[in-house]
Structure 1
Amino acid sequence: MIGIDAGGTKTRCVVLTLGGALAGSGTGPGANPNSGGDTAGALSTALREALGDLDPGLVIGGAFGIAGAGSAGRPAAVAAARTAWQGLGLRGSPAVVTDIAVAFAGGTTAGQGIVVFSGTGAGAAVINDGAIVQRADGYGWLVGDQGSAVWLGREAVGAALAALDGRATPTVLTESVPRALLGAAVLTELDDAHRPRHRRALALAGSTARAPGDPDGGTTMLLAAPGDAPAPDPRLAQAIIKEVYGRPPASLGRLGPVVAAAASAGDAVARRIIGEAADWLLRDVDAVRPALGDPTAPVVMHGSVLRSGPVADAVRAGLTDRFAAPPEAAGDGAVGAASLALTRLGYPPLAPVR
């Protein structure tokens, strides 16, 4: 049995026996075309590595959970899944669901419940038997995914740029974002090139003037531009812009831990961003909750942002206040996908692998 969890940043594949024993595993790049991924290529890479030398004829089925495989992107996702599946000589075709459904299955054996997720994308959904009953957000980085790692990164870059060009006061992110995006070597090069020009600017701004209270011209003093710190270097902002737009949108997610670290250090701007992220995710849960038939059904937290850190802590606390039991931590989504495939063939679901 094969299970694939294909997200916006990484694709994971497992091959399991009917008893749940691991027979092979593989990884590939992100598969969500909305975040710059090559769906068919990512699926093929992970699937090929997981199968290894195994006989394809022994595979009786599989399920692929693919980011962007909602109704709008389903035809393309199904086509990509079939291309990868048949390209490796497997019989039939896999079931195709969203990565949201396999995230829920990776956290519980229950058939119904809520999953709130935040990784490359973000949102919440009510799941029933592997299908999404109702969802909130998960609309992609351009028009949604508030509270995701990519959203955190975008907010952090915006805060850093606003401080660099004078629209806002400096924040820890003013230093940590350029360092994370550009690296120490590039920052040193930009700084070394900027300082000589700053010194010349100070010299030109200075003027010889009479000292206060000395109208006859005794002691003179140099009047320089206010402040000792170098003026903002526009090339740093442009270097950040070049880096951000030169990579797929999903790459902004690497700044999520940078925001978390700044918030933990007490930075007010980072703490505001973290608070807004948690608020958005809890709002998603509140939006889908009325569609939950069983109020005691489990709630699963999934994704890198909700694994640990300040956003995870805030969301966990909010969910505990809203529901009768604390939320479940999601396990391996690829195993969740294989579990869905097994249950559709009449086998019992697999226990989550955390």
Structure 2
Amino acid sequence: MMDLVSPNTDSLSDAAYVIGIDAGGTHTRCALATLDGTVVGAGKGPGANPNSGGDPETALFTALREATDGIDPTCVIGGVFGIAGAGAAGRPTLVSASQKAWSALGMSGEPEVFTDIAINFASGTPAATGIVVFAGTGAGAAVIQDGEIIRRADGYGYLLGDEGSAVWIGREGVKAALSAMDGRGTPTILSDLVPRALLGAAVMAELSPRHLVLAGSGHDLPVGPSLLPQAILKEVYGKPPATLGRIGPVVSAAAETGDPVATRIVQEAADWLLMDVDAVRPALTDPCAPVVLAGSVLTGGPVAEIVRTGLEARFGTAPALAGDGAAGAARMAIRRLVAA
């Protein structure tokens, strides 16, 4: 949703811009907007959440530089950064990274830093209050009021939570595939799909022969049963945790074919997300307030379908879908300038 609500900006300079950033665990997106709400520049960078292995300063600078290319930096008069991990625990680090990236490009002042959770809500509705359910790299639910989180459930990162996220689904898919390979788990097509998605065609081709030639011996060396699992372990442990998110769609696709193991994972993911909603719902004072779905897991697919059905049963209306997070952050920046 790139169109922004156009506030009354008559008292502000016509030759001025605001910045909106939506920075998650795997991607950072930046929008440059004029004060009438027109998005005139866009940029992107890698993930900025340090809890998922990101380098926030570099990610923010990369996206900012691309979005502001060719404009006078002194014409940027405000900005809102929504960054995953910008809650109390990670806030000092991310505020410092935001300020450094901002000033490195010659822009005066400093951006306001919010969690990406509040930005996700703003991207899906003009309402000031409501619930956002998010499931991308991270996962959880929150009640939002005027850009602030009133109550939150989960969103604790891959080590302590984020049940229902793409990373969680991916991790469960890999675990299920490994369990099937070594005989501990139920047979599943994930034991074929997961290694192909993780390792790629070239590595799988190298692992496909039933025997390897022992160099210099002239004899065949049988390939042990642990060869493929060890290759998977090397790939998983050699990459940042957020990269497991790319296995989430593999699990969803397997569930859509009827694979029982993948179906169980998908159902459990949806159950966790609906449990998050039930946990924060008591803090919602307006029962008619909107509910916004955000994140790659909830834009489509089996988890999204189950969660939508559950939300409609709870609230009596269909949830809204979050739009472009960077544009939502720019919308918030304009509003805050007008209100100042």
1:185 CA displacement: 2.3
Where does residue 84 of structure 2 map in the other structure?
A: 67
Distance in 2 (alpha carbons) for counterparts of 1:232 and 1:57 = 63
2:207 aligned residue (190, 196, 202): 190
Alignment of 1:21-40 (within 5 A): 21-40=38-57
Bigger radius of gyration among the two: 1
Where does residue 137 of structure 1 map in the other structure?
A: 154
2:331 aligned residue (319, 336, 339): 339
C-alpha contact (below 8 Å) 2:212/2:223 kept by paired residues: no
C-alpha contact (below 8 Å) 2:155/2:162 kept by paired residues: yes
Alignment of 1:300-339 (within 5 A): 300-339=292-331
Residue 311 of structure 1 aligns with an amino acid whose one-letter code is V
For structure 1, the residue ranges without an aligned partner over 5 or more in a row are 198-229, 348-354
Task: List per-residue Cα deviations over 1:110-139 (Å, max 9, x = no partner).
Answer: 000000000000000000000100000000
C-alpha contact (below 8 Å) 1:41/1:84 kept by paired residues: yes
CA RMSD of aligned residues (A): 1.6
1:335 CA displacement: 0.7
Aligned with 1:346: secondary structure? helix
Where does residue 288 of structure 2 map in the other structure?
A: 296
Task: List per-residue Cα deviations over 1:54-97 (Å, max 9, x = no partner).
Answer: 11111110100000000111111110110011110111000100
Q: Compare 70-79 and 184-193 and name the one that shifted more.
A: 184-193
1:118 aligned residue (126, 135, 150): 135
C-alpha contact (below 8 Å) 2:142/2:280 kept by paired residues: yes
Distance in 2 (alpha carbons) for counterparts of 1:17 and 1:186 = 48
Distance in 2 (alpha carbons) for counterparts of 1:264 and 1:325 = 25
- Number of residues paired by the alignment? 316
Distance 1:51 1:161, change over 3 A: same
1:231 CA displacement: 9.3
Aligned with 2:130: secondary structure? strand
For structure 2, the residue ranges without an aligned partner over 5 or more in a row are 1-17, 215-221
Distance in 1 (alpha carbons) for counterparts of 2:143 and 2:202 = 47
C-alpha contact (below 8 Å) 2:164/2:269 kept by paired residues: yes
C-alpha contact (below 8 Å) 1:3/1:334 kept by paired residues: yes
2:124 aligned residue (90, 104, 107): 107
Distance in 2 (alpha carbons) for counterparts of 1:244 and 1:56 = 41
Moved over 6 A (4+): none
1:263 CA displacement: 0.3
Where does residue 286 of structure 1 map in the other structure?
A: 278
Aligned with 1:42: secondary structure? helix
Where does residue 248 of structure 1 map in the other structure?
A: 240
1:97 aligned residue (114, 117, 126): 114
1:289 CA displacement: 0.3
1:195 CA displacement: 7.9
Q: Compare 85-94 and 185-194 and name the one that shifted more.
A: 185-194
C-alpha contact (below 8 Å) 1:12/1:26 kept by paired residues: yes
Aligned with 1:8: secondary structure? coil
Residue 307 of structure 1 aligns with an amino acid whose one-letter code is T
Aligned with 1:325: secondary structure? coil
1:298 CA displacement: 0.3
2:29 aligned residue (12, 33, 41): 12
Where does residue 128 of structure 1 map in the other structure?
A: 145
1:194 CA displacement: 3.9
Q: Compare 167-176 and 238-247 and name the one that shifted more.
A: 167-176
Distance in 2 (alpha carbons) for counterparts of 1:43 and 1:129 = 24
1:191 CA displacement: 2.1
- TM-score, normalised to structure 1, is 0.87
